[in-house]
Amino acid sequence: METVRAGDAVADRAAALSIRGVTRRFGDVAALDDVSIDLEPGEFMSIIGPSGCGKSTLLRSIAGLEEIDAGHILIGDRDVRGLRPSEREVAFVFQSYALYPHMTCRQNLAAPLMMQELSALGRAPGLHRLSPRARRRRADIARRVDRIAAQLQIETLLDRRPLQLSGGQRQRVALGRALIREPKLFLLDEPLANLDAALRNTTRAELHALQRRVGATTLFVTHDQAEAMAISDRIAVMFAGRVRQVGTPDELYRNPVDLDVARFLSQPWLNRIDAATVARRLERGPARPVARIRGEALRDATGVVAFRPEHATVHPEEDRATPGLRVEVERAEHAGSDANLFVRLRDDGTPCVVRIASEGIDDWPPGRPALMRFDMDAAWVFPHPDPDPDAAASAGPAAQVA
């Protein structure tokens, strides 16, 4: 693991990023709809959202690979709208790594420096020997390639071509090609998506350490909320071209602004039950306690009660000491130290998931009736969602997990 060393880098080059009212339309569809986000210099922000929410389009717009129809993008205090991609001093890491296939890794790493710092004469093979200046610059580029290769531990790969490398190695070379320009801004478009699970976790940690060391402002696009939670200073959640919420991982986890955001940040599933049903079931028994969610009496609420699997518990049916929701077990899924218990509400068949310890999995065979309770202080009441196509696509926990 790389250690964080303060002050050994380009932190002073890191720039603030300000996205102001950016809109991009494809025909009638707004891929980006009045998007505004601000990043502090050196900040690591992730953008998450379902496929097609516009997160990649936003990243490509910042890099200048897509035009925008309205709004401004400021890198540092410079409005980059209209500038060519290479003039924006940003580095981009693509999901496919996008290495130049016929060049060696050394040539791949040197390419951005060769194209930006050498004249056509200096680039011409052989001819650069004629000019002492081109020769000096080439030597300088070679030194910088060696330095970055040492930093990423890819020295032994320098003379190979991308096709001869594993996914993880290609990913390092792609990172190196981005780093070597000492950019003001890093744009990463799902750079870990093509790695296998084990490698993804170590690379994620390395990426985070590298970013801390280099200090560059970073915008990281992913569809994996766990990945975003793990390494971000802040996260922006996008749906259908709009930014719904920006906040620290903790803020997003505790206080999602709406049902979509809460649902997106829940694994494997966000439990949603009609508020009236919950009130009816919980205000039972001799004591008739008033069901409150975060202090609000539930019987006055209209909408859905939402809570995460980790905030729910199951109990034997006979355990009537406190009220609970009557459910029937459907199936259980192992998830390492935990297990997910898929249950259905007996009242109206609403599917729910309860996180239990995996040792307890045998106590809950399919078909067993049970009581479900949840932490009222970790739940929310949201208005009923508008019927939209997104919701239909994930009609049940089984569909979402599959």
How near is the Cβ of 58 to another protein at its closest, in Å?
Answer: 15
Q: Report the residue number, 96 or 255, with the smaller CB distance to another protein.
A: 96
Whether the Cβ atoms of residue 271 and residue 286 lie closer than 8 Å to each other: no
Amino acid identity, position 277: T
Q: Report the residue number, 64 or 122, with the smaller CB distance to another protein.
A: 64
Hey, what are 230's tokens?
């793990």
Residue 211: which H helix or E strand, with range? helix 197-214
Cα–Cα distance measured from residue 77 to residue 362, given in angstroms and rounded to the nearest whole number? 60
Q: Report the residue number, 181 or 200, with the smaller CB distance to another protein.
A: 181
Q: Report the residue number, 148 or 229, with the smaller CB distance to another protein.
A: 148
Q: Report the residue number, 181 or 308, with the smaller CB distance to another protein.
A: 181
How near is the Cβ of 46 to another protein at its closest, in Å?
Answer: 20
Task: Measure CA of the first residue to CA of the last residue in the chain; give whole Å.
Answer: 34
Q: Report the residue number, 5 or 102, with the smaller CB distance to another protein.
A: 102
How near is the Cβ of 192 to another protein at its closest, in Å?
Answer: 16
How near is the Cβ of 14 to another protein at its closest, in Å?
Answer: 18
How near is the Cβ of 91 to another protein at its closest, in Å?
Answer: 7
Residue 240: phi and psi, rounded to 5, are 45, 45
Q: Report the residue number, 78 or 344, with the smaller CB distance to another protein.
A: 78
How near is the Cβ of 2 to another protein at its closest, in Å?
Answer: 25
Q: Report the residue number, 37 or 109, with the smaller CB distance to another protein.
A: 109
Calculate the alpha carbon distances from 34 to 51, 57, 69, 72, 292 in Å. 19, 13, 10, 10, 37
Whether the Cβ atoms of residue 109 and residue 141 lie closer than 8 Å to each other: no
Hey, what are 198's tokens?
């084990």
Residue 187: phi and psi, rounded to 5, are -120, 120
What pairs with residue 357 in β-bridges?
A: 338
Whether the Cβ atoms of residue 146 and residue 157 lie closer than 8 Å to each other: no
Hey, what are 296's tokens?
């609000």
Interface ranges with another protein (CB under 8 A): 60, 63-65, 84-86, 90-92, 94-96, 98-102, 111-112, 115-116, 177
Q: Report the residue number, 100 or 395, with the smaller CB distance to another protein.
A: 100
Cα–Cα distance measured from residue 58 to residue 45, given in angstroms and rounded to the nearest whole number? 13
Cα–Cα distance measured from residue 81 to residue 68, given in angstroms and rounded to the nearest whole number? 8
How near is the Cβ of 190 to another protein at its closest, in Å?
Answer: 11
Spatial CA neighbour of 90 closest among 190, 184, 20, 9: 184
How near is the Cβ of 171 to another protein at its closest, in Å?
Answer: 14
Rg value, the chain, Cα = 26
Cα–Cα distance measured from residue 349 to residue 166, given in angstroms and rounded to the nearest whole number? 47
How near is the Cβ of 141 to another protein at its closest, in Å?
Answer: 13
